[in-house]
Amino acid sequence: MRRVTLTQYLIEQQREHQRIPVNLRLQIEVVARAVKAISVNVGKGAIAGVLGEAGTDNVQGEAQKQLDVVANEILLLSNEWGGHLAAMASEEMPLPYAIPNRYPKGEYLLLFDPLDGSSNIDVNISVGTIFSVLRCPEGAEADERAFLQPGTQQVAAGYALYGPQTLLVLTVGDGVVGFTLDREFGTWVLTNPDMRIPEDTREYAINASNARFWDPAIRRYIGELVAGKEGPRGKDFNMRWVASMVADVHRLLTRGGIFMYPRDKRDPSKPGRLRLMYEANPMSMIVEQAGGAASTGYQRILDVQPEQLHQRIPVVLGSRNEVERVAQYYAEA
C-alpha cells in the first residue's frame, strides 16, 4: 500500500489537479511543521514545565494557560518569515500580527486558535489547533478589515488533534482528508483519504449544564433526543461532550453526530460563545466539505459577514439532517 505524505498529497493537489497554487501549498506545510512543535510541547506537559496558568488573560478576558502562550508563539514564529503571508490573526491576540519588515510579505492571511480546549490540558484530555487561510484583498492593507471576510472566502482550513495520536485534518475545498503524525520519522501520513459525515446520527454533543438558558428551539430538539424510543424520534440517542471543540468535531467527522454550542441567555451581550473567525468558520468549511451542514440556527455559518475580528456566534454543525431539523425548529419558533 502506497504511503502518501502530506507533501505528496499537496503536490498532487497543486500539480496534477490544479486545485491549489504553490504558495498555498507551502503555507499549509509551514502550519503543519508548527503543529509538530506544538504536539511535542503538549506531549511533554509537566516535564517541560508548560502546564498551569500563564498569569495573563487573552483578549476575551479568559485566563490563559501556559500552553496557550507557547502554542501561539510557535505559530507566529514559524509563519512570519516564509513570505507567503500578509498578516496573521490569533484568538489570543487583540489585533492582527503584522509580518515584520525584515521578511517578505505574501498574498495570504492566516487565522488560528492555537490551543482549542486548553482548559482540558491539565487533566490530559485531548486538545487541538484550528486554522484557516484567506486571501488578502488585492491592494488592501493587511489590517483587521482585511480579515473580515465570510467563511465562503476561505481557501483552506484544518485542525490538529493532540490525542493518543497527533492528527491533522485538512480541506483545500475538495473534500476532507486526515493525516497521522508518524512520530518516529516526523512525517504526516495520509490515513483518512475521504472523510465523510453520515447524514443521520444517534449522537449529539452539547453542554447540558446550560439547559436552563437555551432557546425554545434547542430545548425542543434536545427534549426529543432525551425522550429516546418512547419520544417522537422513535430511537435512542447518546450524548457525548469533551468540552474541546476539536475533539467533539473530530468524533462526528469519524462516525457522525451533531455538535451544538447554541445561543443562550446567560449573557445577552454575547449572541454566541464560539469565535466566528477562529473556530466556527474553519470547522464549518471542514464539515460542509465532508457532506455535513453548519448553521447558527438562523443561517449558514459560512454566509455570515464578520463585523469584528473576535466576533462570537452560535454554532450547530454535523450530520446534515439533524442540523436542518434544528434550523427548522428555530424557524417554527
**C-alpha cell of 7?**
507533501
Residue 126 is labelled as binding a ligand? no
- Select from 132, 166, 192 the last residue of a domain: 192
User: Is 12 marked within a binding site?
Assistant: no
Residues 137 and 90 in one domain: yes
Known binding residue 119? Answer is yes
Q: What is the DSSP letter of 276?
A: I
| Same-domain status, 207 and 116 | no
* Residue 207, marked binder: yes
Q: Is residue 198 part of a domain?
A: no
Q: How many CB atoms are closer than 10 A to CB 134?
A: 25
Domain boundary among 173, 192, 211: 192
Domain boundary among 131, 163, 192: 192
225 and 276 both lie in a single domain: yes
Inter-CA distances, 161 with 118, 135, 236, 250, 314, Å: 12, 25, 29, 8, 22
Is 116 flagged in the annotation as binding? yes
| Tens digit of pLDDT at every position of the chain (333 positions) | 579 999 999 999 998 888 899 999 999 999 999 999 999 999 988 887 777 776 676 666 666 778 999 999 999 999 999 999 999 999 999 999 999 999 999 999 999 999 998 888 888 889 999 999 999 999 888 999 999 999 999 999 999 999 999 999 999 999 999 999 999 999 999 999 999 999 999 999 999 999 999 999 999 999 999 999 999 999 999 999 999 999 999 999 999 999 999 998 888 777 899 999 999 999 999 999 999 999 999 999 999 999 999 999 999 999 999 999 999 999 998
What is the domain count for the chain?
2
- Residues 244 and 284 reside in one and the same domain: yes
- Say if residue 248 carries a ligand binding annotation: no
How many Cβ atoms sit within 10 Å of the Cβ of residue 271? Answer: 13
- Whether 259 is in a domain gets the answer yes
Distances (CA, A) of 25 to 21, 84, 140, 302: 7, 10, 23, 23
Q: What pLDDT is recorded for position 60?
A: 65
Whether residues 54 and 185 fall in one domain: yes
| CATH number of residue 102's parent domain | 3.30.540.10
Say yes or no: 102 and 236 in one domain: no
Residue 249 sits in the same domain as residue 311? yes
279 is known to lie in a ligand binding site: yes
Shared-domain flag, residues 187 and 208: no
Q: Which domain holds residue 51?
A: 6-192
**Half-sphere exposure of residue 226, counting CA atoms within 13 Å on the CB side?**
9
- Same domain membership, residue 252 and residue 226: yes
Q: What nine digits make up the cell of 139?
A: 491592494
The pTM score is 0.95
Confirm whether residue 132 is marked as ligand binding: no
Residue 269 counted as an annotated binding residue: no
Statement to judge: residues 119 and 222 lie in one domain: no
